[in-house]
Homo-oligomer: A and B are copies of this chain.
Amino acid sequence: MAESQGYRVLWYTEWLSSQEAHIHAIKRIIFDGYTKYQRVTLAETGSFGLTLFLDGYAQSSEYDEFVYHEALVHPAMLTHPKPEKVLIIGGGEGATLREVLKHPTVKRAVMVDIDGELLEIVKKYMVKWHQNCFNDPRAEVVVADGKKYLEETSETFDVIILDLTDPTKGTPGVQLYTKEFYEEIYDKLSKDGVMVTQATSTRYNIDAFSVINNTVASVFPVERPYKAHVATFYSEWGFALGSKSRDPLGIPRNELSERLGRLGLKFLDEEIFYHLFHFPRYLKEKMQ
């Protein structure tokens, strides 16, 4: 079997529900094993290139990791008038940190991920994602429990970004989707502080998406659900943004245009920025 053909023997199966799955032919396993926290599979897929899977689900792929990461990071960063101190919880691939550091106002970006073994794999094999941003002098990478870190820190941040795996029952990440945790975040945000969290698929988990947004809305005066189509997730992916003061839809148009333009993005632009927050009627009816 030449490497170039015939590798349809090893398949990664993402169970979108018990009744539906998406399957990828794996050309080559780069890494497959269990860290203390999760099964980590880094593989070259047939269609999406290098892809990181955690516990059964693609986290991001070479094909469009920037879509997810741009959509996660920049709406929150732009909602804050001048983000200088940023905290990322999760975000093991390093791409969230990479996007944060594109903002010239940032002076300090702390990334806290619980899985040190995963970080070593990422550093070694996923340079396309992190692009060595871990070495940026403004960056600090901490291996720790994000919740505990936040509770114990005396720092405040302008923007806090939650880049986590989905809230699956029985996994430790669940506590990072609670009202208590969002209140802790509120407390550790500075005056115009903004938070954002990934909020699962609007197709496959519309209920979880609604609940997460409602929970953020119960803590923050300004709250906006939004979504972006991410091919690697076969659906539109949801997010929840909470802000202490400014509404993302209220950013002065020229400020948005100028700040966005400077970032050199591949997915997000002004037109798309507004569209992220617009839901078709049939989805609005499904969100409660």
Residues of A participating in the B interface, judged by any CB pair closer than 8 Å: 1, 3, 6-26, 28-29, 32-34, 38-39, 41, 45-48, 53, 55-56, 64, 66-67, 203, 229, 231, 234-236, 265-269, 271-272, 275, 278, 280-282
The SS class assigned to the A binding surface is mixed
What are 14 inter-chain pairs, A to B, with CB distance below 8 A? A3-B39, A6-B55, A9-B39, A9-B55, A10-B11, A11-B11, A11-B23, A17-B47, A20-B48, A21-B22, A29-B41, A267-B281, A269-B280, A272-B278
Contact of A33 among B25, B28, B53 (CB under 8 A): B28
Whole-angstrom distance between the alpha carbons of A15 and B6 in the complex?
11
Residues in B neighbouring A23, C-beta threshold 8 A = 11, 20-23
Whole-angstrom distance between the alpha carbons of A272 and B32 in the complex?
41
* Residue in A9, A25, A231, A236 whose Cβ sees the most chain B Cβ within 10 Å: A9
- Distance in angstroms from A84 CB to nearest chain B CB is 28
Residues in B neighbouring A64, C-beta threshold 8 A = 282
Cβ contact within 8 Å between B46 and A18: yes
Given A235-B234, A272-B280, are A10 and B38 also a contact pair (CB < 8 Å)?
no
Given A21-B23, A24-B19, A24-B20, are A6 and B56 also a contact pair (CB < 8 Å)?
yes
Q: A11-B12, A21-B22, A234-B235 are in contact. List 9 more A-B contacts (CB 8 A).
A: A8-B18, A9-B53, A9-B56, A11-B23, A17-B47, A20-B25, A20-B48, A229-B229, A268-B280
- Distance in angstroms from A59 CB to nearest chain B CB is 13
